[in-house]
Structures are given as structure tokens and as C-alpha cells.
Amino acid sequence: MVKIGLLGCGTIGSGVVELLGRESCHRNGLSIEKILVRNLSKHNNRPYGCKLTNSFEDILKSDIDIVVEVMGGIDPAYFYVKQSLLKGRHVVTANKDLIAKFGNELQKIARQNGVRLLFEASVGGGIPIIKPLSESLAANSISEIRGIVNGTTNFILSRMGSSGMAYEAALKEAQQSGYAEANPESDVMGFDSARKLAILSSIAFRCSVDYEDIYIEGINNVSADDISLAKYLGYSIKLLALSRRSEKGIMARVAPVLLKNTDPLAGVADVYNSIIVKGDAVGDVLFFGQGAGKLPTASAVVGDIFDIVRHSLGNRNKECFDAEELLSEKVDMEGCSADFFIRIKPRSRVEAMNKIAGLFERFEFVFPDRAKLQKPVDPNQIVFIAYNIPEVDIDEKIKSLKAADAVDSVLSVLRIEGDD
Ligand code: HSE
């Protein structure tokens, strides 16, 4: 059994409770022993299935393996995390303020006490970025990090751009969705992005980047006119966190910028975050995902818990494909359906269309507008989209099409993927 002490049970904390209640967590023996909350009476009706306490001492003297800090802020999180490490507890935290300011000191204490301090959730919400940067890309010399690392500001700028929503209304929506900081000034003035950039840059450049040295501009001066003119010119406005390392040293900046619409970061909308890391061996690597919110952030927190369980708590070197843990589910296409783009060359156009109508329940013929085509297509073909075809049926249907007298040949059968 791996005993967890949770510090805080707000938006992220309740997400962690939810994910730790999943079967895979039970199977790995993860269980929440105690939850520290500020106000016990506020949590009376929530059935967490474990003890609540308002005393940190109570957590510290319990038999706990991993302390998970999701309270945010510096005080008292700094004290709690430090004490936990000194007491020999592994710590997982989502707290970027804490890591940006005291990360070095706390990591040192963790090392001295033979425990680990993991903080994947502190940058990019649910996106795995800390571990890839510090482990998977370790062979590289990283020269640049470019990213959108604040969900709230990206949400605001996206809403203002796509629906003409006013700044205040977009901010309110972000707050209601649990994305914004308690004091959203930290988001909109760029401080939150700067802290995250400091954490990423410190890991990538293997040096201590202080967020107070980062040049910061917020989005508070970006107007609706800026956004619509940028759009007209083929740009999107994004709050970009950028750091570069060259012979001259390290530059780090957070500021709203116009990004050409062809830039991969320009299409990153709403609460999504994306980070591009440039390594000398690997080239550019793009990370993308939800950068804030209850379950995405909790996903990163629980990922760190698994890391500790697998590599530091007696399960050392447990591999991803551990035979004991593999599920017995088989892989097959049964039950799956897809939409298909199909082109055929008919012998008799009308009869072939009738054949298609008989074979497919939901379908649509495509009659391309020649003027809009990049290249003229052979007019002697039938193009159609067949919807929701069970994967187990598609081969038979295509065989039947091919066998029909009215059909000369089937030219292509391609699946259509992505949101409608
Ligand atoms: N306020 C932060 C954001 C939360 O909007 O990105 C996640 O760190």
C-alpha cells in the first residue's frame, strides 16, 4: 500500500482525489491516507473516503509515503513541503510559484534526505514537459524554448479573437472554469508565464534562471482592434514565453506577440498550451495539451505519483510493459466505426450511384466545384463520403462495390479522422 497525504482539496486537489479513485490507482496500491484542508466544515458533505484534518502536524506524524501539495502559493506551502522532505517524505507538487522561487533549495533538501520532489504539473497543466525535458531530451543541448504556457490568457485572447468577446467576460469565464489564479493579475500581467518559463529554462539550460530576471509584458494593453487587425494581416496575437541560449548568454521574455498563422503556436486556442523545444540533436519537438483545469493538472500530479511508486518505492526499475500489470484485453477493431472517403470509376454512372445507395446507409456524394480545385480531377469518377461504417463491414462493402457490373474500379478508400 502506498499512502498519500494530500495538502489542499480545491480544484486540483479534488481532481487528484477523483483520479486516485480509479481502478488503475487501486491496483497499484495508491490510497489517500489524509487530506489537509483549511476549513473542515466546508468539506463536511464530500465523501472522500479518507480522513480530513486541518493540522499539518497530523499529516507529518502519519505513516505517509508521498505528500502531494496542491494548495498553491508560497505560504504555508513552502514550509509544508520543506518539512515533508526533511522528514523523508517524497513530495509531488503542482505549485509553480514555489518551484520558481524555491525549487533549487527544495531539490537540494530532497537529495540530502534521499527522497524525490516532482513537479510535472507546475508547467503546462496536463502536458508532460518537465520529464521529457529533463530525461528524454537529456542528450541535447537546448537552445530555445518557445511556448504558450498560460491557459487563462490564451483563453481570453482566443475568445476575443474568435467571438469578439469582451476582455472582462472572457476573464470571468476562465475564472468560472477554474483556470485562472486566485488573483488573475498573475495570469494577465504575465507573471504566471514567467514563473513557468523560469522553471523550463532552468531545466533546459541547466542553470538557475530567476523569474525576476525575465522581461515581462502582460496582455492588459492588447485591444480588440489589435486582435482584428492582426487577424486581417494573417497573424494571431499570443502571450509568448520565449527563452534562448546563445554564446551571449540567456535571454528570457514573456510578451504578447503577433504570430504568423502558419506558426504551429498560432493555432493553439482556448485553454490549450503548447511548447516547442529546440535541441541540437533532435531538432524541434512540439508539446501540446490542456494547460490548466482540474483533471488535466491532476493527471500530471498522479503521473508523478506513479513515477515515485515505480522508481523509488521498492518497485525500482519497473518497466512500462510490466508483465504482472498488463491487462488481458485483446486488440481488435470490433465495435469501431469510421467515416470513409471513397472514389470509384463507374462503368454506368446512375447504376453505380444506385449500388452505393443500396450498400451504405448514410452517405453523401461530393460534387467538387472545379474552380476551387487545386488541380482538375477526372470527371469520370464518383466521389462520396460514407458515414459511421463498422470497421468489420468495410471490406465486404468495398468487395461488393468492386464486383458490381456498374463499377469499373475502386480508386480509393480513406478514413476520415478528426472533429466534425
Ligand atoms: N492560471 C494558470 C493558467 C493555471 O491559466 O495557466 C495553470 O497553471
pLDDT at 309: 93
Q: Supply the pTM of this predicted model.
A: 0.86
Please enumerate in sequence order all residues whose Cβ is within 8 A of that of 159, keeping only pairs 6 or more positions apart, or say none. Answer: 165, 169, 170, 173, 270
State the SS3 of 254-284. EEEEEEECCCCCCCCCCCEEEEEEEECCCEE
**Average model confidence (pLDDT) across the chain:** 92
Could you tell me the distance, in angstroms and rounded to a whole number, from the CA of residue 199 to the centre of ligand 1? 14
Give the whole-angstrom CA distance, residue 9 versus residue 70.
7
pLDDT at 419: 52
Give the whole-angstrom CA distance, residue 270 versus residue 292.
10
pLDDT at 324: 65
Tens-place pLDDT, residues 112-133: 999 999 999 999 999 999 999 9
| Atom in ligand 1 nearest the alpha carbon of residue 122 | 8
Tens-place pLDDT, residues 154-176: 999 999 988 888 888 999 999 99
pLDDT at 314: 67
pLDDT at 370: 81
Could you tell me the distance, in angstroms and rounded to a whole number, from the CA of residue 385 to the centre of ligand 1? 41
pLDDT at 325: 64
The fourth-level CATH superfamily of domain 130-290 is: Dihydrodipicolinate Reductase; domain 2 (3.30.360.10)
Count other C-beta atoms under 10 Å from residue 283's C-beta.
Answer: 9
Give the whole-angstrom CA distance, residue 418 versus residue 420.
7
pLDDT at 133: 97
Give the whole-angstrom CA distance, residue 206 versus residue 72.
25
Give the whole-angstrom CA distance, residue 302 versus residue 296.
10
- Sequential DSSP letters for 98-148: HHHHHHHHHHHHHHHTT--EE-GGGSSTTS--HHIIIIITTTSPEEEEEEE
| Residue 136 contacts residue 266 (beta carbons within 8 Å) | no
Please enumerate in sequence order all residues whose Cβ is within 8 A of that of 291, keeping only pairs 6 or more positions apart, or say none. Answer: 124, 125, 126, 127, 148, 149, 150, 151, 154, 271, 272, 273
| CATH architecture of residue range(s) 2-118+294-314 | 3-Layer(aba) Sandwich (3.40)
pLDDT at 270: 95
Give the whole-angstrom CA distance, residue 297 versus residue 242.
22
pLDDT at 48: 72
Instruction: List the one residue out of 142, 122, 257, 159 whose CA is nearest residue 204.
Output: 142
Known catalytic residues are 196
Give the whole-angstrom CA distance, residue 336 versus residue 394.
11
Which tops the pLDDT comparison, 252 or 44? 252
Count other C-beta atoms under 10 Å from residue 47's C-beta.
Answer: 6
Tens-place pLDDT, residues 5-35: 999 999 999 999 999 999 888 888 999 999 9
pLDDT of 359 strictly over 90: yes
pLDDT at 317: 54
pLDDT of 318 strictly over 60: no
Protein residues whose CB sits closer than 6 Å to any atom of ligand 1: 125, 150-152, 179-181, 187, 192, 291-292
pLDDT at 393: 96
Bridge partners (DSSP) listed for residue 237: 258
Count other C-beta atoms under 10 Å from residue 277's C-beta.
Answer: 23
3-class SS at 84? helix
- Of 279-283, 328-332, 414-418, the poorest mean pLDDT is in 328-332
| Atom in ligand 1 nearest the alpha carbon of residue 186 | 1
Give the whole-angstrom CA distance, residue 116 versus residue 107.
8
pLDDT of 420 strictly over 60: no
Q: What confidence tier does 386 reach under pLDDT thresholds 50, 70, 90?
A: very high
Q: So where are the chain's domains? A: 2-118+294-314, 130-290, 337-417
Please enumerate in sequence order all residues whose Cβ is within 8 A of that of 261, keeping only pairs 6 or more positions apart, or say none. Answer: 234, 235, 236, 267
Fold of 337-417: Alpha-Beta Plaits (3.30.70)
Which residue is closest in CA terms to ligand 1's atom 8?
292
Tens-place pLDDT, residues 261-298: 999 999 999 999 999 999 999 999 999 999 999 999 99
Instruction: List the one residue out of 290, 86, 374 whose CA is nearest residue 78.
Output: 86
Pocket probe mutation, ligand 1, options 130, 179, 191, max atoms within 8 Å of Cβ: 179
Could you tell me the distance, in angstroms and rounded to a whole number, from the CA of residue 52 to the centre of ligand 1? 27
pLDDT of 204 strictly over 90: yes
Q: Per-residue pLDDT averaged across 139-144, rounded?
A: 97
What's the burial of 87, exposed, middle or buried (CB within 10 Å: 0-12/13-18/19+)? middle
- Of 307-321, 331-345, 347-361, the poorest mean pLDDT is in 307-321
Q: Per-residue pLDDT averaged across 145-155, rounded?
A: 97
Tens-place pLDDT, residues 221-257: 898 888 988 998 999 999 999 999 988 889 999 999 9
Could you tell me the distance, in angstroms and rounded to a whole number, from the CA of residue 38 to the centre of ligand 1? 22
pLDDT at 336: 86
pLDDT > 70: percent of the chain: 95
| Residue 124 contacts residue 148 (beta carbons within 8 Å) | no
